[in-house]
Amino acid sequence: MGKLIVELADVWSSQQEGRLRERRGHDRLRAAGAGPDHGLVFTDRVIATLVVLRFQLPHAALAVFYGVDRSTITRAVHEI
């Protein structure tokens, strides 16, 4: 699983930044990494997404497991 996460992280990050740039219509005005932090690191977001897709576990249950709000899990699943 670790190799998969390492392999996907850079590709996903660059695609995500590309989507955001397209939506904004210009490059970032802030430095990379500025702004609010994600409640879950990339690895946890991927694992949460896989659990939701495979086991249909409610987002609220995963939120309790990770110690975050349900909306954080929902946002993470939609992003991934």
- Report how far apart, in Å, the C-alpha atoms of 16 and of each of 13, 33, 66, 74, 77 are: 5, 13, 23, 17, 13
Tokens of 23: 């939506």
Tokens of 40: 């879950």
Q: What pLDDT band is residue 4 in, cutting at 50, 70 and 90?
A: confident
pTM: 0.65
**CA distance linking residue 47 with residue 24, whole number of Å:** 29
**CA distance linking residue 76 with residue 9, whole number of Å:** 14
Query: Tens of pLDDT along 16-55?
Result: 888 888 888 887 777 766 766 667 888 899 999 999 999 9
Q: Where are the domains of the chain?
A: 1-30, 37-80
